Each structure stands twice: as structure tokens, then as C-alpha cells.
Amino acid sequence: EVKEALNAVNIEFITFWDVRGVGKATQKRIYRGIKYDTSDIERIMITFICREKYLDPAIKALLQSAKTGQVGDGKIFVSEISDGYRIRTGEQGDRSVYLEGEE
């Protein structure tokens, strides 16, 4: 759902991976009838880079598609990227992220 929601607001490429974190929340696991209590929490981390004009729509898409109402829905952090380069062509800045002809 998250990938589809982001794609609908022109976020066409995301990176995601499985991560583990430690926090106040714990998860109970049962393995062979034995309950284990662990503070390692499994999550999926998503990153993407977008132009300023896509930022608000992307945030709204994430808030709507990722929300379950349960603890662990996640957080959104916004950072500025100072520059970017496309290695293949040497393009810099916005041009390094988007294809020719996109505005």
C-alpha cells in the first residue's frame, strides 16, 4: 500500500530494507512453546529523495497508507540533501535524480 501511495504522488523510486531497533516497546515471541521478551524490534525502513513540490503530497500519502493506529506505525523524518550526482552522466543536483524532460 505504501509503495502504491507514493507512486501515485510521483515518488517513483524508494529504497527499503529490514532493520532492527531498540526502544521502550518490546515484542513477545514464542519459539517452541517458550515465550521470549525482547527489546529488538523488527521494522522496515524506507528512504527516498524527492523535489520540494512532492514533499507534502508524499508525507500525506505516507500518513494515510502506513497508518494502522497501532504502536509501531513509524515515524517520518525530513532532511535536506545538499547535492547529488549521477555517476553515469555526471549530472548534478535535481538533474541527477530525474529523467530528462521532467519538470
Rounded to an integer, what is the distance from CA 68 to the centroid of its chain? 16
Instruction: Please say if the pLDDT value at position 103 is more than 60.
Output: no
Q: Kindly state the DSSP code that residue 69 receives in the 8-state scheme.
A: S
Cell of 74: 513509524
Q: Give the strand pairing for 15-31 and 34-47.
A: antiparallel
Cα separations in angstroms, 13 against 21, 28, 68, 98:
24, 34, 23, 10
Chain segment 33-78, per-residue pLDDT in tens: 877 766 677 889 999 998 889 999 999 999 999 999 987 788 999 9
**Whether residue 102 has pLDDT greater than 60:** no
Cα 43 to Cα 75: distance, rounded to the nearest angstrom? 11
Overall pTM > 0.85: no
Q: What is the pLDDT, as a whole number, of residue 73?
A: 87
Nearest to 43 by CA among 3, 13, 4, 75: 75
User: Across all residues in the chain, what is the average pLDDT?
Assistant: 86
Per-residue confidence (pLDDT) for residue 42, from 0 to 100: 80
Residue 64 is predicted with a pLDDT of 96
